[in-house]
Structure 1
Amino acid sequence: MSVTVDVKNLSISFGDGPAAVKVLPDVSFSVNPGECFGLVGESGSGKSTVLRCISMLTDFWKGEILIDGRSVRDIPLIQRCRMLQMVFQDPYGSLHPRQSVRTVLHEPLVIHKLGDREERMRKAITDVGLPIAFLDRFPHQLSGGQRQRVAIARALILEPSLLLLDEPTSALDVSVQAEILNLLQRLQKERGFTYIMVTHDLAVVDHMCDRFAVMLKGEVTEILPRDAIAENRATHPYARELVGASLAYEGRA
């Protein structure tokens, strides 16, 4: 189920004329099949924008984004939605307050004309560690961690090959963060997903990712393997400072 992702010379600007702001000047990286690839950096560095470009939620970018060698622009919408799904940062804002969990999971099955809907919904909700009875609950009846599990179930129900994770644990308590990360790790091992994960937390990278790119002002400064964190083998000044600050914080903690 895993796919390759190649991002080549990705750039995007917001605004027109002299007032236009180039958010991503020139981003390139590749993700191997079944790999968890991290995008890290300070707020405003362009991490989430990269995910929005890959998912085509933002479509006026320039450059090339290939999934298994095929341009994401050439993949029909219905097929693209089956191939990739996104889990957003805010578990409170990503679910409709007036829709039950059953409705949230049922809708994509109807859109994609998939059968065995009740069975698929039951499997999706249990795969993320929630009881089947939760299908009839509403978002206000769920904790933050439970809402994020529902959001992950919604992403999984179409059986995608690529999951885009936009800081999926940053709005959660520390203990719940660990549960969600362990859940994502287990699902990747079981199904062989390719993950691209945006985070500002290098502890999350160390737990989840095989490699990660450090971003600064819309540019990739350096791509490192996970084991480069412990000894801070970064060479770019900003990447080295970022990893060093994270290690110093963990040391104090």
Structure 2
Amino acid sequence: MSVSVEIRDLSISFGDGPAAVKVLPSVSFSVKPGECFGLVGESGSGKSTVLRCVSLLTDFWKGDVLINGKSVRDMPLIERCRKLQMVFQDPYGSLHPRQSVRTVLNEPLTIHKLTDKEERMQKAITDVGLPVSFLDRFPHQLSGGQRQRVAIARALILEPSLLLLDEPTSALDVSVQAEILNLLQRLREERGFTYIMVTHDLAVVDHMCDRFAVMLRGEVTEVLPRDAIARNGATHPYARELIAASLEYEGVNA
């Protein structure tokens, strides 16, 4: 189930000619099979853009994105969707307000011509901690945490190997954030998923990630192991400043 990910010289610009803005000058990092790899940095540093490039939601980038050594550009759409899925930041915006949970989960099964639809839907919804009766609810009948669980179930239902997590808890109440993180942690332990997780919260990295990359203005300044947070083992000035600010904030709010 686990896959490796290698990103080589990923770059992308928005706009044309002299007005073009290079959002990612050249990003490179690798993710081991079964690893949870974090991308951290201030807003606008290019974290979410990396995920959009990996998933080909944005497709005019240059460089290479390899999953188990195979370029995502060489994967047929059906294969790519079975291999990787994305969970978005906003559970209110990522679900269609007029579609029931059953419709949301049934659509990918229909597209991919998978059988045993009812069994698969029931398993997906219970795997994320919701009762089967929720299949007939609509998004407006769900809390924010429940909506995000549905979004995770939608990502799981095709049994992918790689999950791209774009700040999956930042739009939720603090009490619900821990529940969703624990759910993602349990799913990774049970199924061996590989995660690439975008977050601005180093406490989330400390809880979830094996390693993380610190991004600044579209570039990776440093790749660090999780234990570098507690001892601020970064060497790049920006990375040290970011970790120090997080430790100070946690100390004040402890």
Task: Report the TM range for the smaller structure's normalisation.
Answer: over 0.9
Q: Which residue of 2 aligns with 1:122?
A: 122
Q: Aligned partner of 2:203: which letter? A: A
| Aligned partner letter, 1:126 | T
Aligned to 1:248: 248
Residue by residue, what CA displacement relative to the aligned partner does 1:25-75 show, whole Å, maximum 9, x if unpaired? 000000000000000000000000000000000000000110000011000
Q: Amino acid of the residue matched to residue 53 of structure 2?
A: C
Gaps of 5+ in 2: none
Note the C-alpha offset of 1:120. 0.1
Q: What's the CA shift for 1:10?
A: 0.4
Equivalent position SS for 1:52 = helix
Q: How far apart, CA to CA, are the structure 2 residues paired with 1:76 and 1:216?
A: 33
* Matches of 2:13 and 2:249, distance apart in 1: 34
Name the structure 1 match of 2:170. Answer: 170
CA distance in 2 between counterparts of 1:131 and 1:107 reads 20
For residue 132 of structure 1, report the CA deviation from its aligned partner: 0.3
- State whether structure 2 residue 68 is matched by structure 1 residue 68: yes
Question: 2:191 — aligned with what?
Answer: 191
**1:56-205 correspondence runs (5 A):** 56-205=56-205
Query: Alignment partner of 1:248: what SS?
Result: helix
Question: Could you tell me which amino acid in structure 2 is paired with residue 187 of structure 1?
Answer: L
- Count of residues paired in the alignment: 253
Instruction: Give the Cα–Cα distance (whole angstroms) in 2 for the partners of residues 40 and 132 of structure 1.
Output: 36
Aligned to 1:213: 213
Distance apart, 1:128 and its partner CA: 0.1
3-state SS in 2 of match to 1:195: strand
Alpha-carbon distance in 2 for matches of 1:52, 1:222:
21
Tell me the CA shift for residue 78 of structure 1.
0.5
The two structures have a TM-score, normalised by structure 2, of: 0.99
2:37 counterpart residue number: 37
Aligned-pair CA distance for 1:141:
0.1
Cα offset, 1:81, TM superposition: 0.2
Output the TM-score relative to the length of structure 1. 1.00
CA-to-partner distance for each residue in 1:135-170, whole Å, 9 max, x for gaps?
000000000000000000000000000000000000
Q: Partners of 2:233 and 2:226 in 1: how far apart?
A: 10
Q: Percentage identity across aligned positions?
A: 87
How much does 1:203 deviate?
Answer: 0.1
- Give the Cα separation in 2 of the matches to 1:63 and 1:104: 33
| 2:226 corresponds to 1:226 | yes
Shift of the alpha carbon at 1:232?
0.2
What amino acid sits opposite 2:196 in the alignment? I
Matched, 1:8 2:15: no
**CA–CA distance in 2 between the matches of 1:108 and 1:27?**
31
Runs (4+) off by over 2 Å? none
Kindly provide the CA deviation profile for residues 95-147 of structure 1, in whole angstroms up to 9, marking residues without a partner as x. 00000000000000000000000000000000000000000000000000000
Alignment RMSD: 0.2
Deviations 1:5-34 (A, max 9, x none): 000000000000000000000000000000
Quote the offset at 1:77 in angstroms. 0.3
Instruction: Tell me by how many angstroms 1:236 deviates.
Output: 0.1
